[in-house]
Chains A and B, each alone.
Chain A
Amino acid sequence: MHSQVVSSLGAGVGLRLQHLAAVIKDRPDASWFEIHPENYLANPYAAELLLEIARSYPISVHSVGVSVGSAGGIDRTHLARVKALIDRLDPIMVSGHLAWSTHEGDYLNDLLPLPYHRESLAIVADHINQVQDALGRPYHLENPSTYLGFADSTMTETAFLAAVVDKTGCRLLCDVSNVHVSAHNLGYDPYRYIDEFPGEAIGEMHLGGLEIEAEANGGEVIIDTHSRPIDGHAWDLYAYAVARFGARPTLIEWDNAIPELTTLLDEAAKADAVAASALKSGVRSARAG
């Protein structure tokens, strides 16, 4: 049933704690919501509201704490808590990041970058297998936004993602804004990245706002803040990705300076319109746009 629901979904929005009561009260015309399970593990009241919302809307679970890239292993206790929430919600999708956030038990509260080589591939693949076994569901792995790379990387990010899919059977979450951010910050072509992305594995796409900061050396770095409307370059890249891969459930992420829910829903409607136009126009037009 979930696959039928997912294939027909329009764009959804990230559901944050401050919008829970408004969703229950106003029942907005949202296609689906995505939540961070970490926000609900120690908040019984929010979990109660979320379960009520889940009776009326499809929910996707997007973990920010599973840390599949940690060399020291994944936190099985945390994974069990996330699974308990997932079992109650029965979400349409479960996802997380190609990143690490814990080291020797300390939690760094950020999605930190990985070098891409044989050892990190083996570790990430092993952890995703553990996660999928524990959850009993496919895991959608998201490409990260990054500000730097590693000298000992031997693979491109897209080759790394394709290898993870091959080793684990996991799905991918293509965060188009992250592609724009990382491509700018690391100096590669975002359209080529999309061309090389293993598109058949994409189960979900993300779009989020960003901010540009001046660097001391005269350059500019793009920060993945999720605090603003979607950037024009990201919309263009999204149209290209949709034209290339077909429509996928797409999420508007907004995690800081969070506006009224209607602002997020307006961005979701725009994503639907951009996707419809891209599907009609095709790849060449989408890139030209």
Chain B
Amino acid sequence: MLALAETQATFRHAVAGEPSSAVAGLLVAPRDPIERLSIYRRHYRESFRRHLRGRYPTLEWLIGTPRMTALADAVLEARPPRAPSLAEYGAELTEIIAGPDYADLPPYVADIARLDWRLGSIAVEIEAPAIAITDLAAIPPHRLGDVRVDLQPGLSYLRSAWPVDELVKLRVTETAPEQLAFAAETVHLELRGARGKFGWRRLSGGEFFFRQSLQADRPLAAAAEQALCDDPGFDISAALARLFAEGLATAIHSPHRETQDD
């Protein structure tokens, strides 16, 4: 009798890889045990294919179901899930599709995949109560540069050398033309979602890097510096006013004073 760990290792390999002669000797069924094993093999692949296709609808729309299915199988083989929460599995696809095995695909598909993944992720978030810009009034002006600002959890920032948001829009609105002129154009996207809904809009480069930096927990001064690198005319006062007016800020943290969020 094999130890249970060895039995499960053999069974797992037969389900996720190829059945070996070793597994046949372990199994019993009224008819062919290997044919019965194929049910588990099929369920394994089909459940992950279904999941990944659901998380990457625009990518599948672009590359077609056969290629998407093959891609899902490749992701599953290279990076199988490590946790039983399937909803959290699949971000690995965005790395794999950017690799050399997929160099024949259009150059923007990796960004499409990132956009699909992030839209699905932010849509299930819940927005926190927003704070007002007046909350900054308690911070002395010379300390403002050290302040960190928490943003809504359903925000994501994505920069692409292609207008990938146009493709998502065509899919979502089912308005794809027979032919589409699609040219390289750098876009800075702010994605915002909550409670089952999502949307996006384009930002200026300065605004994008400012907000992206704040989301990465950089202090205001460093975020402004990032923005100024892209846009020397960046106006931090106006950008802060817009950030709070849009309800994106949920807490402020000052290293010099414990604020209401702490």
- Do A and B truly interact? yes
Stretch of A24-32, A44-52, A160-168 on the interface side: A44-52
B197 to chain A, nearest CB (A): 10
Stretch of A112-120, A171-179, A202-210, A277-285 on the interface side: A112-120
Q: Does A106 contact B (CB under 8 A)?
A: yes
**In the bound complex, do residue B8 and residue A103 qualify as a contact, i.e. CB atoms below 8 Å apart?**
yes
Bound-state CA distance A70–B7 (Å) is 11
Q: Which residues of B sit under 8 angstroms from A148, Cβ to Cβ?
A: 27-29, 33, 36-37
**In the bound complex, do residue A109 and residue B12 qualify as a contact, i.e. CB atoms below 8 Å apart?**
no
B68 to chain A, nearest CB (A): 18
Bound-state CA distance A103–B11 (Å) is 10
Q: Does B25 contact A (CB under 8 A)?
A: yes
**In the bound complex, do residue A42 and residue B30 qualify as a contact, i.e. CB atoms below 8 Å apart?**
no
Q: Does B40 contact A (CB under 8 A)?
A: yes
Q: Does B70 contact A (CB under 8 A)?
A: no
**In the bound complex, do residue A109 and residue B31 qualify as a contact, i.e. CB atoms below 8 Å apart?**
no
**In the bound complex, do residue B48 and residue A216 qualify as a contact, i.e. CB atoms below 8 Å apart?**
no
Q: Does B4 contact A (CB under 8 A)?
A: yes
**In the bound complex, do residue B3 and residue A223 qualify as a contact, i.e. CB atoms below 8 Å apart?**
no
Q: Which residues of B sit under 8 angstroms from A289, Cβ to Cβ?
A: none
**In the bound complex, do residue A151 and residue B27 qualify as a contact, i.e. CB atoms below 8 Å apart?**
yes
Q: Does B257 contact A (CB under 8 A)?
A: no
Closest to A102 in B: B84
Which 3 residue pairs across A and B have the least CB separation, nearest first? Answer: A65-B84, A71-B5, A71-B4
Known: A103-B9, A216-B35. A78 touches B83 (CB 8 A): yes
Mark each residue of chain B from 18 to 48: 1 if its CB lies under 8 Å from any CB of chain A, else 0: 0000000111111111011101100110011
**In the bound complex, do residue A45 and residue B124 qualify as a contact, i.e. CB atoms below 8 Å apart?**
yes
Q: Which residues of B sit under 8 angstroms from A119, Cβ to Cβ?
A: 3-4
A118 to chain B, nearest CB (A): 9
Q: Which residues of A sit under 8 angstroms from B4, Cβ to Cβ?
A: 71, 114-115, 119-120, 123
Bound-state CA distance A149–B30 (Å) is 9
**In the bound complex, do residue A186 and residue B86 qualify as a contact, i.e. CB atoms below 8 Å apart?**
no
The answer, among A72, A150, A185, for a CB contact under 8 Å with B27, is A150
Bound-state CA distance A46–B47 (Å) is 21
Bound-state CA distance A186–B29 (Å) is 6
The answer, among B7, B12, B27, B125, for a CB contact under 8 Å with A44, is B125
**In the bound complex, do residue B40 and residue A105 qualify as a contact, i.e. CB atoms below 8 Å apart?**
no
A214 to chain B, nearest CB (A): 11
Chain A interface residue bracket vs B: 35 or more
Bound-state CA distance A152–B84 (Å) is 28
**In the bound complex, do residue A109 and residue B25 qualify as a contact, i.e. CB atoms below 8 Å apart?**
no
What are 22 A-to-B residue pairs whose CB atoms are below 8 Å? Answer: A38-B84, A38-B87, A44-B153, A65-B83, A78-B85, A81-B85, A100-B8, A101-B84, A103-B9, A107-B81, A108-B15, A109-B86, A115-B4, A147-B29, A147-B36, A147-B40, A148-B33, A151-B25, A151-B28, A152-B26, A216-B32, A221-B36
Q: Which residues of A sit under 8 angstroms from B84, Cβ to Cβ?
A: 38, 64-67, 75, 78, 101-102, 107, 109
Q: Does A217 contact B (CB under 8 A)?
A: yes
Bound-state CA distance A186–B16 (Å) is 23
Q: Does A232 contact B (CB under 8 A)?
A: no
The answer, among B11, B87, B89, B196, for a CB contact under 8 Å with A112, is B11
Q: Does B126 contact A (CB under 8 A)?
A: yes
Bound-state CA distance A281–B48 (Å) is 45
Bound-state CA distance A112–B84 (Å) is 14
The answer, among A21, A77, A107, for a CB contact under 8 Å with B80, is A107
Known: A119-B3, A151-B26, A152-B1. A42 touches B87 (CB 8 A): yes
Q: Does B2 contact A (CB under 8 A)?
A: yes
Bound-state CA distance A72–B5 (Å) is 7
Closest to A150 in B: B26
